[in-house]
Amino acid sequence: MPSRAMPSRPLALAIALAGLVAVTPARAQPSPDALVDAFEAVLGPVRTHRPSHAKGTCAAGHFVATAEGTRLSVAPTFSGQRVATLIRFGVGGGSPQASDTSRSTRGLSIRFETPAGDIWDMANISVPVFGAPNPQVFVENLLVRRPNPANGQPNTEAINAFVAANPAVTRQGRWLAANSPPASWATTPYWGVNTFVFRGQDGQLRPARWVFEPRAGTQRLTEEQMRSMPGDFLADELRRRVAAGPVEFDMVLQFPAAGDDLNDPTIAWPDDRPRAVVGRLTVTEVAPGPGGACDPISFMSLDQAPGVELSDDPTLQVRAGAYAVSLSRRLQ
């Protein structure tokens, strides 16, 4: 990973002094190769598509920051100018044939490119929590699900023992079980789940998480629709929506209170935390079919320092490197 992706200890100390979280010693993290190897241990070699959210559709549009967004971040994306966006909507899982009615995450990946050429990427999911508290547990959670070469099945006893010892890995699954899948890519919130640090016009550092809230409201499939809808309805549904008018999302920052965990993305902050609308994402076009401009992009430029910087969340520290390894293997 580029060295700029590692937050400075003064930054971590500034957050700690604000009373939000204690600075903990850095722990050893799996390498980017180890993360991708863990995916491939479960899925087999992944050379033609992404290992996560393999099924997706490309789109494009623009983003305009609000005055509050400009106040809270000095990053070029929040200047208040119209910023071009390249967008990928995805369906969770490692298969390009995943069903659009499955109880899995939906993805919203965005590349922002300012008029001056500044690039900022992000990847968001339709669940407010991630699947593991840190990269090491993420890798272990994948590896324990490796199929046995003798029968092609994972070891259920080993999985159950791992989950019992690491209950945080169940939080995302419990949320998905309690909430039906989205009726449209345009009618679900998308959470960033990780903490970032925003540097405001006043020079103050503010840790925050974000969510993209659909202007059309949240709409989910009924149980009957989950049984009757085709497995490939999302792309065409989005094309029809955008043809009738832009699809819009408000980008909302959520700020923690003292005691909120900044570094564990499996723990959502309470809904009563302070919030600020910092911009609007507008989707104006959708690729007419499979493929498109978003396909070769891995959305790796995760920060736009100094206005948006990585926190000490260890998941952020390895993400860009793992994306790069995955992309390099697909290009071989």
- Rounded to the nearest 10 degrees, the angle between the axes of helix 32-43 and helix 314-330 is 60
Chain centroid to Cα 56, Å, comes to: 14
Kindly name the residue from 7, 15, 21, 53 that is annotated as catalytic: 53
Distance CA(129)–CA(191), nearest Å, equals 8
18, 163, 173, 175 from 168: Cα distances, Å: 27, 8, 10, 12
Tell whether omega for the bond before 306 is within 30 degrees of 0, i.e. cis: yes
Q: Which of 97, 71, 103, 301 is nearest to 208 (CA)?
A: 71
- How far apart CA 74 and CA 206 sit, in angstroms, is 12
Please name the helix (run of DSSP H) or strand (run of DSSP E) that holds residue 89, with its range, or none. strand 82-91
Burial class of 18 by CB neighbour count within 10 A (0 to 12, 13 to 18, 19+):
middle
Sign of torsion over alpha carbons 13, 315, 60, 226: negative
Are 241 and 283 in contact, with CB atoms under 8 Å apart?
no
Structure tokens at 237: 């549904």
Q: In this structure, are residues 150 and 331 in contact, taking their beta carbons and an 8 Å threshold? A: no
Instruction: For 315, list phi and psi in degrees, rounded to 5.
Output: -60, -35
Can you name the residues that pair with 254 across neighbouring β-strands? 209, 275
Could you tell me the two tokens for 142?
A: 């994948």
| DSSP bridge partners of 123 | 109
- Phi, psi at residue 151, to the nearest 5°? -130, 0
Catalytic residue check, 53 = yes
Place of tokens 């957050």: 15
Residues tagged active-site: 53
